[in-house]
Every structure is written in structure tokens, then in C-alpha cells.
Amino acid sequence: MRKIVFITLLAITALGLKNANAQTGINNNSDWKVPVPSVNTTAPFIRVIVPPTPTMPPMPGVPAVSPIPTLPTGGLMPGVPGSPSIPPGPGANTASNQNGNQGSNAGSTAGSGQQPAAPSFKDTPILPPVPPITPLPELRFPTS
Amino acid sequence: MTISANRLFKIGFIFALTAILFHPKQALSQNNFEKVLSKKMDSLISEKGHVIISQTMLPNNSVSSIMTPSGWGSYGTYVFGVVGGVYPTAYTNKPDLISAFGLTFGNPSKWVNVSASVNITRVSELKNLSANLVVSRAIFESSSISVGGLQLFANADVSDAPEGTYYIAFSHAVQSVESKRPGFAALGYTIGFGTGRFLRKSPYDVAAGKGKYGTGFFGSISYEVFKQVNINAEWTGLNLGFSTGFRPIKNSNLTIGLGVTNLLTNYSGDRVGVIGTLGLPISLDKKQFYR
């Protein structure tokens, strides 16, 4: 059947060749009144469609990951607050002043005796205050 | 020392259970997946033609337009031949034919595709030669653009339209309408602009008071109604036409297009013409995978 169709079309084409000429020689643009001389070679292929990877649906309870980096600039760790200044230790002037002021402070310190000088820990490192940990709401247990 | 039958049965059952649980062939379930994958790849490799691995669909492989060019190029290297005709030609009672043969090569997704061919516009006398040169490139998603010249360098002593045609065309395959052939789009369209055959009317049209120029803009829309059978509507820049295209032989690239043109005779031409094409691309490539 296919061969018959093909041979028939070929025969019609061949028979039409003799009179297939619309040229009149008067520049009537008949050369443009014919089909575009091109053939479809777009897709004589086997095509494998690879679908794009679907985006993962958001899971309940898990915050969505932002494409914008949320880490602080300058490092992964948050900035450590500056250490508080070390209070001055009890020097000689301070001790004499304390002795001089004992009389005036006697009323207020009556019964308590002389207060010992505050110990000085110059070599002890002073840790910064620990920032409070923000409680995660999803980790809260229901209060009974 | 005696072992009871019940105890012996229990020990045997445990050994059998252990052997089943740790049997290598059953434990390596990945093997089944790999076998299926291997079969799939083997089936693809054994298929005829090239394989395109893509995330988008191209238009189907039947005729999508006859009187207007497409923005799509070809994937691969082909020699091709085409014969096209119209009956009757405007303002005559004669048919007119054109034939062409040429070469197309290049991957339009990575670089460009080039199509070069030679026309024989007087088929019956094997003369009136001219040239076609078209460059196409895939752009965006499932779209392509082509720039080219048709019927260039024709001899003015022989041709009645020696100035040639230059055009630019954009084509898109609609991804939401899938073809009956997996991996292809059933709906596509082309829009473009051109000079020459898309712009200039016949001197007979001018004499009839139908103007000197058409729109210059051309377009076509194609839809697959049956598997590898399209119906097309096209505006040639000068007139309206409808056509259909199909591939009559399975596993063959022979394409046939049939249609009518010059439906709006008030705008140009004086009669409706029947158009047809017969084209055959022959691949020169070995099997390739295109991305």
C-alpha cells in the first residue's frame, strides 16, 4: 500500500514535469509562488525527556532554607561581646583610704567589724556572659 | 548424648532462616534496578536514529508548514531532496514546480545548524538555479530562531524573481500539548518577517489594484491531529493557506505535505491553488546522542 502511494505520487510528479512551468517571462514573481524548498529534519529522533528535578516540598516543623545566606559576615560564630573591664585591685592608696574612712563608716559598719579586702584574681581569665539560648518552639514539650 | 527431634527441627529452622536472610542474590536488590536500567539503555541504543536527551519537547517530525519557513533547524548531518509544486499558479492555468537538494549540518543547541541547498526552479527544463542558505539556533526553552536567504543568486535572464528572499523566523513548541509520539509537542507555531516572496506581490496584483506589497510578516500554526499527521494554517505574507503533513512510511523520513493556498483572492492572486511537497532527508551521521 505504501509503495503504491509513493509510486502514484511519483508518477503524478513526473507527469506534471512537462507542463510544470508557470514562467511567462514578464517578471511576475511566479518563482515565489511555489512551496518553500525545505524539508523537515527537525526531529527524526528518539527523544528522551529528562524532567527537571522537582523542588522538595516543605516539611512541617522544619523552617524553609533561605537561598540567602543567613550566617553573619566575618565568620561562622556570632561575635563575642567584649570583656568587661577588670575592676582595680585594692592598692595602697585604696587601703589607706579605707583605714581613714573607717571612722566615718563606723556607724554603718558597727557590729560587722572590718571588712576583708576583695581578693584580686589578676591572672584569672574572665569569661564573657553567656547569651541566653533561645528556646526552639518545636522542642517544647507540652506542659501538663 | 541424644538430641530430641524437636530440638533438631528448631536448629535446622534457624539455619535455614539465616541462610535465606543473608543469601547474596536476594540481598543485593540493587542488581534488579541495574538490570532494568541496562535494558532501558540497550533498547535506546538499539533504536534507529539519533537520541536527544532534553528537558523540553521539540515539534513533531511531520510537515508543519509548506509555504513558509520554520525557525527550527536539524540536529545532525543530512543530505536532503525536496520537490514542491502548486496548481494552478496565480494568474495562469499552469502548475509550477520547484525542487531542491542540499546539505544540513550542525547542532543548533550548542552552536548553530546550517542548511545549504540548490534550487531548480524550472524543473521541467532543469534550469533556473538558485541557492538557499539558512542558519538556525535553539534559544530559550523549546524555541528556535532561523535567519536565511531563499532563492538567492538566481539568473535574471531566466528567473522572473531574481532578487531573492531574506527572512528571520521564530518557532516555538508548546510544552503543555504533548504529541502522541512520546517526547514531542503536538502544537507549535512560527512567526517571522521576510522580503521577496513574503513581501512583494505579483505585477498582476498591482495591475488589479491589490497593492504592491503584502505584510512581510508571515506565520504558521501546526497541530497534530493524529499520530504524525498535522494540520497547519499559514499566512504567507501575501495570503492564507491550510495544509496537512504526514510521514507515510514507518521508520522512513519521507515527508508529504498537501494543502491549499491563496484563499483570500481579494488580497492577492486570482484563484486558489493546491500545493504539495515531497521531501526526503537522509542522515549521514552515525548514531549520536544530542543534548
Tell me what pLDDT residue A19 has: 59
Are B40 and B92 members of one domain?
no
Instruction: List, in order, residues 6 or more apart from A51 with CB less than 8 Å away.
Output: B55
Clarify whether residues B81 and B15 are in a common domain: no
Q: What is the DSSP letter of A61?
A: T
Query: Does B164 share its domain with B139?
Result: yes
Interface of A with B in 3-22 (CB under 8 A): 5-6, 9, 13, 16-22
**Do the Cβ atoms of B109 and B45 come closer than 8 Å?**
no
Torsion of CA B18, B20, B26, B28, to 10 degrees: 0
Q: What is the grid cell recorded at B120?
A: 531548480
Statement to judge: residues B208 and B234 lie in one domain: yes
Q: Which of residues 20-39 of A touch B (CB under 8 A)?
A: 20-39
- Domain co-membership, B153 together with B266: yes
Same domain, B62 and B42: no
Reading the block at residue B256, the C-alpha cell is: 508529504
Phi, psi of B160 (to 5 degrees): -95, 5
Residue B189, sorted as left (phi over 0), alpha (psi -120 to 50) or beta, turns out to be beta
Same domain, B38 and B161: no
The region of weakest confidence among B9-18, B36-45, B115-124, B220-229 is: B36-45
Query: In sequence order, which ranges of chain B are alpha helices (DSSP H)?
Result: 5-21, 24-27, 30-46, 203-207
Do B21 and B148 reside in the same domain of the chain?
Answer: no
Same-domain status, B132 and B234: yes
Q: Which residue from A25, A39, A49 is facing B183, i.e. has the nearest CB? A: A49
Query: Quick one: closest CA in A to B50, which residue?
Result: A45
Same domain, B9 and B40: yes
The structural domain count of chain B equals 2
B61 and B41 within one domain: no
User: With a CB-CB cutoff of 8 Å, which residues 70-89 of chain B face chain A?
Assistant: 70, 72-76, 78, 80-89
Q: For residue range A55-106, what is the model confidence (pLDDT) as tens digits?
A: 777 777 776 666 666 555 555 566 667 777 777 766 555 544 444 444 444 4
ipTM of the complex: 0.74
Check whether the bond before B88 is cis (ω within 30° of 0): yes
Note down the domain range covering B241.
55-290
Lowest-confidence range among A66-70, B57-61, B258-262, B274-278?
A66-70
8 Å CB contact between B159 and B137: no
Please tell me whether residues B126 and B196 are part of one structural domain: yes
pLDDT value for B112: 92
With vertex at residue B7, the alpha carbon angle to CA B6 and CA B9, rounded to the nearest 5 degrees, is 65
- In this structure, the strands spanning B127-139 and B113-122 are antiparallel
